[in-house]
């Protein structure tokens, strides 16, 4: 089982960044409709086979979000 709720996680991170999903989509070169579709699709972000393998080993999957260091963030923004 994936323990994260990606829709809530992304919405919270957008609020923390002072950004709306439309702006996030533009920053990534995507449409806002596509970003919304990916966020709402529960099984679209993590491979089902991977989750099944981890469950078979006795684990749930939980993603941890770690801020990118400023110097690396500047490099990403330039790409």
Determine the average pLDDT of the residues in 70-77. Answer: 85
4-56: pLDDT as tens digits: 888 899 999 999 999 999 999 998 999 999 999 888 876 667 888 999 999 99
What is the predicted pLDDT for the residue at 48? 86
The single-letter DSSP state of residue 18 is T
- The pLDDT value recorded for residue 2 is 86
pLDDT at 19: 95
Res 55: pLDDT: 95
| Domain-wise residue ranges, the chain | 6-78
- The whole-number pLDDT of residue 77 equals 75
């Amino acid at each position: 089982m994936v323990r994260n709720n990606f829709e809530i996680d992304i919405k919270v991170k957008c609020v923390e960044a002072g950004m709306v999903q439309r702006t996030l989509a533009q920053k990534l070169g995507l449409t806002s409709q596509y970003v919304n579709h990916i966020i709402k699709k529960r099984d679209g972000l993590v491979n089902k086979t991977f989750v099944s393998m981890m469950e078979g080993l006795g684990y749930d999957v939980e993603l941890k979000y770690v801020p990118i260091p400023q110097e690396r963030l500047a490099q990403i923004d330039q790409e």
